[in-house]
């Protein structure tokens, strides 16, 4: 009698588990069949986002170069007596120009990436 109750509860548990698993599997297959475009479009949209994620790296380097663009002239102005006495105006000017050029290049890269990524994701 005790064994019959245990056997019956195990049988019902296994039956319920199998029935539930089959239902979930059927519903997932049905969902993918009805909305197959999601299965196709999701990887297509996901890849460009991951590829252009390097924008974050470019953004952080932009922050670094923006800081150096403002630090170089500030240091030169604070040490103007030293710059004048050692006649290094050209060196300081070249440092500032190089920093500005680097920042400009980084901003152009960011603009190119954004101009490609945003319309591509919206289109897809």
| Residue environment code for 25-39, b if the CB has 16+ CB neighbours within 10 A, otherwise e | eeeeeeeeeeeeeee
Greater pLDDT, 112 or 58: 112
How sure is the predictor about 9, in pLDDT bands with cuts at 50, 70 and 90?
low
Read off the pTM.
0.53
CA pair distance 105, 99, nearest whole angstrom: 10
Residues with Cβ within 8 Å of 121's Cβ and at least 6 positions away in sequence, in order, are 45, 48, 49
Task: Select from 48, 67, 46, 43 the least CA-distant residue to 114.
Answer: 48
CA pair distance 68, 55, nearest whole angstrom: 20
CA pair distance 107, 120, nearest whole angstrom: 20
Mean pLDDT to the nearest integer, 71-92: 80
How sure is the predictor about 1, in pLDDT bands with cuts at 50, 70 and 90?
low
Task: Select from 41, 59, 33 the least CA-distant residue to 123.
Answer: 41
CA pair distance 110, 113, nearest whole angstrom: 5
Residue 36 has pLDDT above 80, yes or no: no
């Amino acid at each position: 009698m005790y064994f019959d109750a245990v056997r019956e509860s195990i049988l019902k548990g296994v039956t319920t588990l199998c029935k539930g698993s089959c239902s979930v599997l059927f519903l997932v297959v049905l969902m993918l069949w009805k909305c197959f475009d999601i299965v196709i479009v999701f990887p297509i949209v996901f890849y460009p986002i991951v590829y252009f994620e390097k924008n974050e790296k470019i953004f952080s380097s932009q922050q670094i170069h923006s800081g150096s663009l403002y630090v170089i002239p500030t240091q030169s102005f604070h040490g103007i007596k030293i710059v004048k006495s050692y006649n290094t105006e050209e060196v300081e000017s070249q440092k500032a120009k190089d920093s500005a050029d680097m920042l400009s290049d980084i901003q152009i890269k960011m603009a190119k990436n954004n101009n490609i990524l945003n319309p591509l994701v919206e289109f897809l």
